[in-house]
Structure 1
Amino acid sequence: MSDFFETARLRETVLAAWAASPARFREDANAEEDFALGGYRDRLVVELAQNAADAALRAGVPGRLRLTLDGDVLLAANTGAPLDTAGVEGLSTLRASGKKDEAGAAGRFGVGFAAVVSVTDAPSVASRKTGGVRWSREETTALVASRPELAAELAGRDGHVPLLRLPLPDDSLRVPDGFDTVVRLPLRDSAAVDAVRRMLEEAGPALPLALPALEAVEIEIGGSERTISAGGWHVVTESGAYTPEQVAELFADRPTEERARPYWEVRWAVKLDAGSGEPMIRARDTGVPRVVHAPTPSDEPLDLPALLIATFPMTTDRRHVASGPLTDFLVTRAAEAYVRLLGELPKTPALLDLVPGLMGKGRLDAAIRREIIERLPGTPLLPAMSGVLPGSEARAVLGSQEFLDTIAEMVPGLLPSGWATRHPALATLGVRRVEIADVVDMLSGDAVADATPSWWRSVYAVLPADDLESIAAIPVPLADGRLVRGPRGTLILSGESSGSSAFSGDSAGPSATPHALDPALLAPLGLRIVHPDAVHPLLLRLGAAEATPRTVLEDPLTHAAVSESLDSADPEPVAQAVLALVDAAGLTAGEAPWLAELALRGADGELYPAGELLLAQGSLAGLIDPEVPFGVAAPDLVDRYGPAVLAATGVLDGFAVVNDADVLLDPAECDHELDLEDEWIEAVLDLLPDLDVPPVALEFTAVRDLEYVADWPSALALLSRPPLRAALRPLRLIVSGETVEVPSYTAWWLSRHPVVDGRRPTSLRLPSGDPLLFGLYGDAPAAVDEEALKLIGVRSTLDELLASRGGPEELLDLLADASVEVDRAQLRGLWTAIAGVDPSRVSPPTAVRAVLKGQVTVADVEDGPVVVEAPDLLALVEDRPLVLAPFDLAEALSEVLDLPLVGEIVAGAVTSSGAEKPVPAEVRSLLPSAPLTYVEHDELLVDGRPVPWRFFEGKVHASGVEGLARGLAWAAGQWTDRLAVAALLREPARVPLLLAEADLDPVTPV
């Protein structure tokens, strides 16, 4: 067996060193075990690829590596420089790389081959030109055991020896055809086989990208083959040599051999989609873990969507990048290279996904991100429509490309439509987001001074319309040459009145212009009419209105022209325009009450507001007082426009009617210029409880100019018929969420004025009204509709009168009027009804209708009228005015009138003596509940005055038959039978007949 690599010399040198210093043996054993089980435990494939790349680089040939897992053996065949003595020394030493002087070599620490120890106990290497070498744990153990000096150290290691320190010659290993060197690794056990298979399956493009000397890595596992290459990746590389000054500054804290390799390299790689050519950013799509490669993978996280390979200094475990000035220097170079990478990639919005955010997954990741972000805003990366610009000069606007093309001259640095997204990278790049509202603001002033109406229409066609508020101020060219801000308040001429529409698909303008909408005719109104070449459907969505006759009339400028027409030097053009619109719109009288301000000529040649003109042949002209200040419409106006159009404008044909909706009944808010309107509101509010919020009338209808009527019989005939009759009906109010009815304005006004036969309606009663009201109220004329009369206050029934506000007091006032005749039966009925009124609704009267010594009279309260509650007290107050009603209502009536009951002003005590006697049995047959005895007096005295009877302290006191009969009937609760009891007492023989008559009484239902 040849020993080309001088393995015997190497072995003896190492064994001698160990024998001389057993601690050196322990140190080498521990170091190899640490590297194999620690920092390089899962780097086998990477380290084999690194050695293959360095061999290819050394030989200057394309690198090729083939990894074959065949059962429990892994073969790694590569092209390139063969294994030599220096290489064997490098493989058989720790921390002493044989490549330290090779520029561009990946291996630089001298420990990578230790990764094989994690899976095998007998690795071997052979080159086609130089032969082979092997290592063996078993043979190394035997050689160590042969040295007594090392026996103690070996005994404590359980077979773990530094096998790579003792190489052995090997001529048995054959290099596969097409390759220059092969590594053979018999795998230790099934766990090692599984680990190697996993590492082979996970191997990806990071290998050839990190080791560019390798053009391809072929992997074969159990007959299945695949090839890994760097194809489809965009790579940017930056490299250089350190100056002596940089070495002194940056390597002060680095090991000596690192300072001996004074060059650096940074490489970024991004995988590109085969179809679109755009970068692929997801790790699962690229097959590359998100870690820093230095140049082989570390455990240093890097969440940027690109592969970073750089000559970062590593910690002793080769897992993490060491901090320090050298790393800081390379972080800056990595950021510069990344910015260059972004500049070389296709200029598509996918580029934004490569712009990093500030938050990294580790200290190094965050440091690189900060450096990149600092450079991005000033770097020309973005394909603005005026050329590639840095983000700080670019502008992003949401909208279609058509829209952006239209506004490109107004917005410098504008990005294409695909870039105007909500991507956070735009802010990182320094791109200013221009909102649509800002673009709209730019479309003004000198920039668009020469823009044609058709150009504006092209803007409307491409303007983003998903947020109407943002574009609400877009300028609009008018037919009169003005340019106004925002479509709201503008009008678009329409053919609606002729049955056609202003728009058909994307038509350029109105399809018809009715005579009423002739721009020349409408010019005096000062309307903002959109230029026909600028008309577009978007304007309607933004608040423009189709210029139908009605919308033109409703325009605030039309309102202003009407209200100012009377003060105009020449109101005739305004009048012609408005009358033509009213005609075309088909307005009816009262539909637009504000038109009553329009200045029109009267027959006398003077100007009047339309609401102060009468139609000479109208129904109202013959009703009003000739002295009131109304004019008569000029005859030529009537001939030209007709009575209906003039009436719709406010000229008075019949009564003018005010129609309104959602009216707040507040004197400060409600003003329809109606006579006594404030007083009516106060009267209505008096009918309602105290409210925090004024009530609202959903619909309000009122007749105007009632104060000017002279012919009330004719006027009432008109008012009592439709449509004016609607103004008489009660007004419905919303009060605290509930609906309440109150008198309408028209009905209230009529009720307060002498409009019915020269008398106020509230002083009259219907011909068919309640008989109890006869004499109290005058008779209303039968010729007028009774329902209409009721609506304006003519009285109908006593119950309705008492239920109305102020009705009870009105009735009491009438009863206190001595000129009003009331008979006794009528009076009893009235007192009976008044007794049912809530006392809180009545102020105590100063005089009342009463009975004095049998005569109905009016008595002042100072004359001492009393309410009689019991018949046995009548004799005690026969000199006083008596208020008489059914005795069971006496107490209630006393409270309503605030008058005393008789029992409150007299004692009513029996002051004479009598004898107690039994009640005749015959009486008990008629009065079953009568008392068993009574007290008979020769002369009964009560409070010293002779009376016929008294029911006092539960006893009936009487003198004479009539008194006894009344006392017993009252005590038995059968007061109405008092006359029958008197007859029975006078003629006891008539008892059988009276009882027989009683048996014939009808049965009272229970």
Structure 2
Amino acid sequence: MFDTERLRQTVLDAWTASPARFREDANAEEDFALGGYRDRLVVELAQNAADAALRAGVPGRLRLTLRDGVLYAANVGAPLDAAGVESLCTLRASAKKDDIGAAGRFGVGFAAVVSVTDTPAIMSRATGGVRWSRAETAELVAARPELAEELARRDGHVPLLRLPFPVEDLEVPEGFDTVVRLPLRDEAAEQAVRRMLDEASPALPIALPALERIEIEVDGRCRTITAEGWRVVTASGEFTPEQVAELFADRPTEERARPYWEVRWAVREGGGTGDVPRVLHAPTPSDEPIDLPALLIATFPMTTDRRHVAPGPLTDFLAREAAKAYVRLLRELPKTPALLDLVPSLIGKGELDAAIRHEIIRMLPDTPLLPVLSGEGGAVAPEPVPGREAKAVPGPAAFLEKIAGIVPGLLPADWPSRHPALTTLGVRRIDLADAVDMLSGDAVRDKDPAWWRSLYEVLPADDLEAIAAIPVPLADGRLVRGPRGTLVLSEGPERLDPALLAPLGLRIVHPDAVHPLLLRLGAAEATPRTVLDDPLTRTAVAESLDSPDPEPVAQAVLTLVEAAGLTAGEAPWLADLALRSADGERYAAGDLLLADGALAKMIDPEVRFGVAAPDLVERYGPRVLTAAGVLDGFAVVHDHDVVLDPAECDHGLDGEEEWLEAIYELLPESDVPAVAPEFMAVRDLEYIADWTAALTLLARPPLRRALQPLRVLAGGETVDVPSYTAWWLSRHPVLAGRRPTELRLASGDPLLFGLYGEAPAVIDEEALKLIGVRSSLGELLASYGGPDELLERLADPEAEVDRAQLRALWIALAGVDPQRVTPPDAVRAIRKGSVVVADVSDGPVVVEAPDLLPLVEDRPLILAPFDLAESLAEVLDLPIAGEVVTGEVTSTGVERPVPAEVRSLLPDAPATYVEHERLLVDGRPVPWRYYEGTVHASGVDGLARGLAWAAGQWGDRLAVAALLRDPARVPILLAEADLDPVTSL
């Protein structure tokens, strides 16, 4: 039993001697119980149980039982002794200050019971126990007059834990050494205890390793808490005197008396901390956030409320040690991808959290934590490597295992390559494309084609762009970058002979490396056509003429042409293939003729063409040779989606660039070049001598298609323009020594007679029209350069044109856009009543009014309906008559009324006119002039013309003259007018 009487008297005497001491003790207990320790009852009871087990050297065990409003805490270990009772009754004076490893150090933890009870008690089986009572303490204090005033000031509130009393009604449960009984003050206290019991977690046995087991029983329901399933790493040490002096300079004296430190990290076997709050335990839980995915228990110095870390050199030292211990924890954990979730990010939740994180992150890149593949086959290296030496590559396991022997330091496939922790660890992320780039040089030099095929089998194929540069072994021993441009020989009877193809320098994939993926990545199946389309084949053909021995290339290409079934003109570039001629010389295929071919019979004998060697004709036949460019009949260029731009449209055709310029004159303006969806043209027209035979062939299918207009997409429109073949023929003397554009159809427009010769009927009229033979005036004027051509024809003195024909031609030309016409140097005109060819320097004019004719009668006159005069003058770039004469009336006359009879025929005639005895205009005698709105005339005929012109009825001028001569004939003239057809009204 304990001497509780002595302890009570000692404290009461001290309070009586110094009422201020009474107030300090009451305030201090209240601060701890209602402040820093208000919610730590369970933690403090567990801490006391752990310390008791530690002193006794036995495994700690604590049972917490809430029953009928009372909380019991039973534990095993060292019993309560006199020093312990004194410590419990003396705030801030722990009896365990010298116990290494003890959790209680400051003598205030038991004060947590004050927050829930007014009558706590503790009993040990071997030594007895004590109890406390707020009511009994208040009664004893009230009996001391010296304390009455202070007690009244505190409304009767007294410290609970300073005055112990003997306890007799408390029994220790079987199997335990000590029990604490806490009758709970009220419902609020009971709810608070229930919450604390519910929140009790494995953090308690982890933070208090001496306490192996905690049993919690609430209302008959039990649960047990242990540290099982947690991985714990502990680091500890003692401070040297020098460290104590340096690190504890700002710490209390009793902390200096315990010169040792400890740091403990714990993580669940499955990772993380589960439901355990991530706060610092020092060793009891604090409010200091530690957001790392592990539980930290460490002897950090705390503020007096035990809620936060006290800053200072000791805290800085322990933060560094905590970081080292955390890194050691990571090293000791299994090397699985779950390890990445324990790697901290840079941002922390508080100063301490950030400081620990910063130190951990600094150490991680050089810490060997990561497993890597040791070589091909998937084996993992026996020792982990630091992050700086590791590489993360996305892809399936089979792929990574395949390249592990080439790309050192590869993480296994189940380690996520995009996990943010890899950056913190210093791991180099390599995307798939870069990994593929690393498969080169000496590392793969000894890999045989079968190895490459096995690599293609496991290569990730969901991103073809990333693996586009994968190396490919060729049949000739080379290793090239990327399948694009390579050829894969197919299996079966159509398989091409690699030996035959060898002279072409093709990039043929080694048969042992062939895999379907290569085709997806751009390799082409080696069919006769794909081999012919290969750029290397084209290069071999283009360079064959300069080759010392072109025969192997010729054999390979001709065999491919035969197998591909090519037709003449389908591959025009084959015309550069070097072939032997009959005289043993070497020619380009396009410069060779078939001896019995149609073209050989039409060709100009002065043009140097070779004749294909007979053995080539016998071996491959005319079809293959003509498909390769040898000339039999006409060679045809056949192309699709041709951009009609000189820089891109070059088929080696005679005058092709000029043709492009000509057709662009017919196309709408656009910022982008025009495109021909289908292009067809006949080659070698410039070498023909027998045009009768040639045109006969060209007018027949299939060559006739080359004469048809070319359909062009330009400026958002579809336009038909002359084809190249038709354009070329139109510009050359292919019809009896004359150009087609110099001739007309026999059945053509009569207006063209005399201007164009009649075309010979060597081919049908439709074909003649296609090559430029003229058929009608309208088509001529609508064609490119047609107006200029007509003016040129009219200016030819040899052309025969009558006056009526000429007037019709001027009428047609007046409707042409002046921008399409080049002003002529000479024109066909009327002079002194005759049709003549006049030079522009002779001053021809376009007459726009009949009263000006006498003033310009000495000039060549362009005569057309007066309402077309100005348009025609603009087309011809010639003046009208009114621009070359003044037309001023220079004589004097007398104003006369217009006879009333005239108004019946000319309702819009003016009321008066001016009669001149001798009318002079610009000093020259004329019969009439309509000048400044007035009709001037001398004589009946002049007056009739002037009045008809002024009234806008020029066609009635003769009728008006007859009326003026014989007014009595007015009824007859009016009757005749009534008989005019409706269309004349």
Q: What band does the TM-score fall into relative to the shorter chain?
A: over 0.9
Alignment of 1:347-746 (within 5 A): 347-384=335-372, 385-391=380-386, 392-419=388-415, 421-494=417-490, 510=491, 512-514=492-494, 517-684=496-663, 695-736=674-715, 738-746=717-725
Superposed displacement of residue 358, structure 1: 3.1
Determine the C-alpha separation between the residues in 2 that align with 1:586 and 1:400: 45
Question: For the Cα contact (< 8 Å) 2:406–2:444, is it kept in 1?
Answer: no
Partner of 2:375: none
Determine the C-alpha separation between the residues in 2 that align with 1:308 and 1:809: 100
Structure 1 stretch 679-688 or stretch 565-574: which is displaced more? Answer: 679-688
Against the structure 1 CA distance between its residues 467 and 893, is the aligned structure 2 distance closer, same or farther, given a 3 Å change threshold? closer
Partner of 2:149: 152
Structure 1 stretch 343-352 or stretch 480-489: which is displaced more? Answer: 480-489
Partner of 1:255: 252
**Aligned AA (2:349):** K
**Aligned AA (2:291):** D
Determine the C-alpha separation between the residues in 1 that align with 2:403 and 2:687: 65
Query: CA RMSD for the aligned pairs?
Result: 2.7
Aligned-partner SS, 1:551: helix
Partner of 2:319: 331
Give 1:872's match in structure 2, choosing from 851, 865, 873: 851
Determine the C-alpha separation between the residues in 1 that align with 2:21 and 2:721: 115
Alignment of 1:773-812 (within 5 A): 773-812=752-791
Determine the C-alpha separation between the residues in 1 that align with 2:574 and 2:707: 24
Partner of 2:135: 138
Verify: 1:92 aligned to 2:83, yes or no.
no
Give 1:215's match in structure 2, choosing from 203, 212, 215: 212
Aligned-partner SS, 1:38: helix
**Aligned AA (1:634):** A
Superposed displacement of residue 578, structure 1: 0.9
Superposed displacement of residue 167, structure 1: 1.3
Partner of 1:858: 837
Superposed displacement of residue 710, structure 1: 0.6
Superposed displacement of residue 922, structure 1: 3.7
Against the structure 1 CA distance between its residues 611 and 108, is the aligned structure 2 distance closer, same or farther, given a 3 Å change threshold? same
Aligned-partner SS, 1:300: strand
Determine the C-alpha separation between the residues in 1 that align with 2:433 and 2:887: 95
Aligned-partner SS, 2:597: coil
Unpaired stretches in structure 1, ≥5 consecutive residues: 273-278, 495-509
Superposed displacement of residue 25, structure 1: 1.6
Determine the C-alpha separation between the residues in 1 that align with 2:248 and 2:454: 66
Determine the C-alpha separation between the residues in 2 that align with 1:913 and 1:333: 130
Superposed displacement of residue 438, structure 1: 4.8
Q: Per-residue displacement from partner, 1:285-317 (whole Å, max 9, x unpaired)?
A: x22110111111111111111112122222211
Verify: 1:122 aligned to 2:119, yes or no.
yes
Q: Per-residue displacement from partner, 1:449-507 (whole Å, max 9, x unpaired)?
A: 4433222211221223334344333332222333333323221101xxxxxxxxxxxxx
Superposed displacement of residue 153, structure 1: 2.1
Alignment of 1:890-929 (within 5 A): 890-911=869-890, 916-929=895-908
Determine the C-alpha separation between the residues in 1 that align with 2:715 and 2:762: 41
Aligned-partner SS, 1:387: coil
Partner of 1:498: none
TM-score (norm 2): 0.93
Unpaired stretches in structure 2, ≥5 consecutive residues: 373-379
Determine the C-alpha separation between the residues in 1 that align with 2:821 and 2:524: 58
Give 1:6's match in structure 2, choosing from 3, 9, 12: 3
Aligned-partner SS, 1:143: helix
**Aligned AA (2:478):** R
Aligned-partner SS, 2:828: strand
Determine the C-alpha separation between the residues in 1 that align with 2:932 and 2:381: 118
Against the structure 1 CA distance between its residues 186 and 752, is the aligned structure 2 distance closer, same or farther, given a 3 Å change threshold? same
**Aligned AA (1:626):** P
Aligned-partner SS, 2:370: strand
Superposed displacement of residue 894, structure 1: 2.9
Instruction: Using the aligned pairs only, state the percent identity.
Output: 78
Partner of 1:201: 198
Determine the C-alpha separation between the residues in 2 that align with 1:987 and 1:239: 148
**Aligned AA (2:311):** S
Determine the C-alpha separation between the residues in 1 that align with 2:81 and 2:941: 161
Verify: 1:54 aligned to 2:42, yes or no.
no
Structure 1 stretch 739-748 or stretch 601-610: which is displaced more? Answer: 739-748
Superposed displacement of residue 73, structure 1: 2.7
Verify: 1:178 aligned to 2:166, yes or no.
no
Superposed displacement of residue 713, structure 1: 1.8
Determine the C-alpha separation between the residues in 1 that align with 2:425 and 2:915: 123
Determine the C-alpha separation between the residues in 2 that align with 1:628 and 1:797: 37
**Aligned AA (1:92):** C
Question: For the Cα contact (< 8 Å) 2:439–2:471, is it kept in 1?
Answer: yes
Question: For the Cα contact (< 8 Å) 2:668–2:714, is it kept in 1?
Answer: no
Superposed displacement of residue 997, structure 1: 2.9
Question: For the Cα contact (< 8 Å) 1:389–1:413, is it kept in 2?
Answer: no
**Aligned AA (1:455):** W
Superposed displacement of residue 110, structure 1: 0.4
Partner of 2:25: 28
Aligned-partner SS, 1:165: coil
Determine the C-alpha separation between the residues in 2 that align with 1:676 and 1:800: 24
Q: Per-residue displacement from partner, 1:660-684 (whole Å, max 9, x unpaired)?
A: 4454555455433222333334444
Give 1:309's match in structure 2, choosing from 281, 297, 320: 297
Partner of 1:74: 71
Structure 1 stretch 760-769 or stretch 175-184: which is displaced more? Answer: 175-184
Q: What is the number of residues matched between the two proteins?
A: 977
Aligned-partner SS, 1:899: coil
Give 1:280's match in structure 2, choosing from 259, 265, 271: 271
Question: For the Cα contact (< 8 Å) 1:762–1:794, is it kept in 2?
Answer: yes
Determine the C-alpha separation between the residues in 2 that align with 1:190 and 1:70: 13
Superposed displacement of residue 257, structure 1: 1.9
Determine the C-alpha separation between the residues in 1 that align with 2:936 and 2:575: 83
Question: For the Cα contact (< 8 Å) 1:612–1:652, is it kept in 2?
Answer: yes
Partner of 1:298: 286
Question: For the Cα contact (< 8 Å) 1:32–1:94, is it kept in 2?
Answer: yes
Determine the C-alpha separation between the residues in 1 that align with 2:455 and 2:893: 118
Superposed displacement of residue 77, structure 1: 2.3
Against the structure 1 CA distance between its residues 641 and 988, is the aligned structure 2 distance closer, same or farther, given a 3 Å change threshold? same
Determine the C-alpha separation between the residues in 1 that align with 2:873 and 2:468: 73
Against the structure 1 CA distance between its residues 389 and 912, is the aligned structure 2 distance closer, same or farther, given a 3 Å change threshold? closer
TM-score (norm 1): 0.92
Determine the C-alpha separation between the residues in 2 that align with 1:970 and 1:427: 99
Partner of 2:328: 340
**Aligned AA (1:346):** P
Against the structure 1 CA distance between its residues 229 and 1005, is the aligned structure 2 distance closer, same or farther, given a 3 Å change threshold? farther
Structure 1 stretch 223-232 or stretch 993-1002: which is displaced more? Answer: 993-1002
Superposed displacement of residue 89, structure 1: 1.0
Verify: 1:238 aligned to 2:217, yes or no.
no
Give 2:962's match in structure 1, choosing from 983, 996, 1006: 983
Determine the C-alpha separation between the residues in 1 that align with 2:59 and 2:249: 36
Determine the C-alpha separation between the residues in 2 that align with 1:962 and 1:255: 143
Partner of 1:506: none
Aligned-partner SS, 2:411: coil
Question: For the Cα contact (< 8 Å) 1:766–1:780, is it kept in 2?
Answer: yes
Against the structure 1 CA distance between its residues 434 and 826, is the aligned structure 2 distance closer, same or farther, given a 3 Å change threshold? closer
**Aligned AA (2:275):** G
Superposed displacement of residue 62, structure 1: 3.1
Superposed displacement of residue 917, structure 1: 4.7
Partner of 1:65: 62
Superposed displacement of residue 92, structure 1: 0.9
